[in-house]
């Protein structure tokens, strides 16, 4: 059974960089059919897609975040990561990593999510 687990600091100071890693178990991140994704959800609000990456490092980003976000992959560790720079309180959210259905972008496997709070 595929499992995804987010990890990273739960508290980040304003103007600093938020870094999260998603560790995939029960399956290989190296499959060519998947673009692994990051999605976030501010407290009490809806879902926002951040971006996606495949095993070779090909990426898609949300234009609203593109200038601040970098997504990378480490196939040797079966992980992919996200960095969001110059964070503000508006970046406080639960961050999810997810895997879509093969050949699509409908997400059928999700991590449990990790709350990241931006505060001094």
Residue 103 binds another protein, judged by CB under 8 A: no
CB-nearer residue toward another protein: 87 or 97? 97
Task: State which residue, 15 or 64, has the beta carbon closest to another protein.
Answer: 64
Nearest to 55, CA basis, from 86, 38, 80, 84: 80
CA distance 51 to 71: 7
Q: Which of residues 22, 73, 96, 116 is near another protein by CB under 8 A?
A: 96
Of 64 and 75, CB closest to another protein = 64
d(CA 74, CA 44): 32
Q: Which residue in 65, 76, 72 sits closest to 36, CA to CA?
A: 72
For another protein, the closer of residues 10 and 63 by Cβ is 63
Q: What binding mask, one character per residue, do residues 53-92 give for another protein by CB under 8 A, x or -? A: -------xxxxx----------------------------
N- to C-terminal Cα separation, the chain: 39
Q: Give the Cα separation of 113 and 93 in Å (integer).
A: 10
Binding site for another protein (CB under 8 A): 37, 46-49, 52, 60-64, 96, 98, 100-101, 104-108, 110-113
């Amino acid at each position: 059974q595929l499992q995804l687990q987010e990890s990273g600091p739960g508290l980040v100071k304003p103007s600093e960089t938020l870094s999260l890693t998603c560790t995939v178990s029960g399956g290989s991140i190296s499959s060519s059919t998947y673009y692994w994704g990051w999605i976030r959800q501010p407290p009490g609000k809806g879902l926002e897609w951040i971006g996606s990456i495949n095993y070779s490092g090909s990426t898609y980003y949300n234009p609203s975040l593109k200038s601040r976000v970098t997504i990378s992959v480490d196939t040797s560790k079966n992980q992919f990561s996200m960095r969001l720079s110059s964070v503000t309180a508006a970046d406080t959210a639960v961050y999810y990593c997810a895997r879509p259905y093969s050949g699509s972008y409908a997400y059928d496997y999700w991590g449990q999510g990790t709350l990241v709070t931006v505060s001094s």
